[in-house]
Structure 1
C-alpha cells in the first residue's frame, strides 16, 4: 500500500508540474555527419540588400527598446555583446533569400546547448525570443538533442545532415524562406517553409513549419504580415558568436 501511495504521489507531482522543455527534445536518429567543402566567399548579387557589410549596424535596431543596436563591430565582424539583447532588422520582409556567415569562437567551452548558442529568427513576431528560429550552435562533435543542433528549425524540424566546420572557422547559412499567409479570420492559408544550406550542404529541404518556435510546448501560428529578421543574444556562458556578410534578396 505504501508503494502505491508513493507512486501515486510521484505521478500527481508530475501531472501538476505541467509541460517541460524536455518534452519537445528529440535525440534520435542522429543526422549523418557530412564534411563540407572548402569555404568559398559568397558576395551579394546585384539586387541584394546588404544588411551587414562589416562597417556599421545601420540596418539593425535593439529589440529591447527599438533604439540603436548595441552589438560590437570590429575588423569587419559583428559580435554579440552579451546582455544587450537581441537585434533585428529595421526593415520587414515577406519571402526572401538570405545569406548569413557566422563563427563560433575557437576557444569555446561547455557542452550541449551551452556551447555557442544563438539563432536566426527568420521572421520575428514579437519581443524576446519569438518567431521562427533557425538554430545556431557548435554542433561539431557536440552531442545535444537533434532538433536543437545547428541547422534545425529549433524544437521542430531535425536537419538532414550535420555539416559543421570546427569552432573558429566561418560557417554559412543560405536560406530560402517562404512566409506564411493568413486569411482575414486568422486561418493559415499557406504555412511557412524553409530550405536551408549549412556550408553548402542542404540541411532543410522545403521544410514545412508547424508554427512559430516554442521552447516549451508545441509550435503554433499567430497571424502576422511582413516581419523583421532577428539575431539572438542567447546569454549562455560560452564565448560570444560573430557574424559577417549578411545580405538578402526579397522574393515577395
Structure 2
C-alpha cells in the first residue's frame, strides 16, 4: 500500500513539473546542429488518385481556421498561394487520418529577420482545434540562419530536430513529402499508438518514421493529455512575425 502511495505521489510531482514550465526557451534544443546537405532539384506531379488541395486556381478546398465554414482569404495569383498574416491560419475542408502529402513552398528572396522571425510558417499535419493547435512540421528559412534545432525547417516543432538541414536558398521553390500516421486512442481516451511521421525535404530524408510525443506545444513538453481525436484537417500557418510572407503551390494528398 505504501509503495502505491509513493508511486502515485511521484507521478503527481512529475506531472506538475511538466506543466509548470512557463517559458518557451525551456523546450528549445540548440545542439547538436544538423549537418548541412545540398539537395537536388525537386519535381513532383500529383498521381491520378491524389486529392488536389491547391491547383493554382482557387482556395475552394480551404477554409478559415478562425471562422470555420468561411472562405480562406489568402492571396492567389500566378498559380501561387501567398500567406495573409492578417487573415490567420487556413485549413482543409476535408479531414484526413493517414495520408501522403506533397507541398511546395518558397521563402521570399528578399527575406529579412533572423532566427524564428525569418520566413516562419508551419504545416499542421493534423489540426485538432482553433489557431495553432495540432502537430506542426516547421517551415522556416534556415539557409545560413541559425535557431534552436527542434524549431528549424524540417523539425517537428519543439519535439524532434531534422536529421540534416536540406534547405535551399530563399527565392527557390522547396518541397516537403510527408507520410503521416495519425495517433490511435483507446475507448477511455488513453493512447493506443502515437502519431508517426516520415518527412522528405527537397528529396532528402529528414524525419524517419518519427514518433511524436503529442500535439505541438510552444511552452512545455508535448503530451497526449487532450481528448482523443479522429480525422482532422491539414492547416497552414500565418505566423505573426514581421518578415515577408512566403508562398505555397502544388499541394496534394493521397489518403492511405
Common topology (TM > 0.5): yes
Runs of 4+ in 1 over 2 A off after TM superposition: none
What is the aligned partner in structure 1 of residue 52 from structure 2?
50
Matched, 1:82 2:85: yes
Matched, 1:192 2:217: no
Residue from 151, 154, 176 that aligns with 2:154: 151
User: For 1:85, what is the secondary structure of its paired residue?
Assistant: coil
| Whole-angstrom CA distance in 2 between matches of 1:38 and 1:229 | 26
Q: How does 1:57-206 map to 2 (within 5 A)?
A: 57-66=59-68, 67-206=70-209
User: For 1:249, what is the secondary structure of its paired residue?
Assistant: strand
Which consecutive unaligned segments of at least 5 residues does structure 2 have?
Answer: 1-19
RMSD of aligned alpha carbons: 0.9
| Whole-angstrom CA distance in 2 between matches of 1:80 and 1:61 | 13
Shift of 1:38: 2.1
| Whole-angstrom CA distance in 1 between matches of 2:41 and 2:73 | 32
| Whole-angstrom CA distance in 1 between matches of 2:249 and 2:82 | 9
What is the aligned partner in structure 2 of residue 227 from structure 1?
232
User: What CA deviation, in whole Å up to 9, does each residue of 1:1-32 have, x standing for no partner?
Assistant: xxxxxxxxxxxxxxxx9521000000000000
Shift of 1:235: 1.6
What is the aligned partner in structure 1 of residue 12 from structure 2?
none
Q: How many pairs does the alignment contain?
A: 234
User: For 2:25, what is the secondary structure of its paired residue?
Assistant: helix
Matched, 1:237 2:239: no
User: For 1:224, what is the secondary structure of its paired residue?
Assistant: coil
Matched, 1:210 2:213: yes
Q: Is the 8 A contact 2:21 2:219 kept in 1?
A: no
User: What CA deviation, in whole Å up to 9, does each residue of 1:18-74 have, x standing for no partner?
Assistant: 5210000000000000100123x2110010000000000000000011200010000
| Whole-angstrom CA distance in 2 between matches of 1:18 and 1:178 | 29
| Whole-angstrom CA distance in 2 between matches of 1:128 and 1:51 | 20
User: What CA deviation, in whole Å up to 9, does each residue of 1:181-236 have, x standing for no partner?
Assistant: 00110011010000000000000000000000000001122210000000000021
| Whole-angstrom CA distance in 1 between matches of 2:212 and 2:234 | 17
The normalised TM-score by structure 1 is 0.92
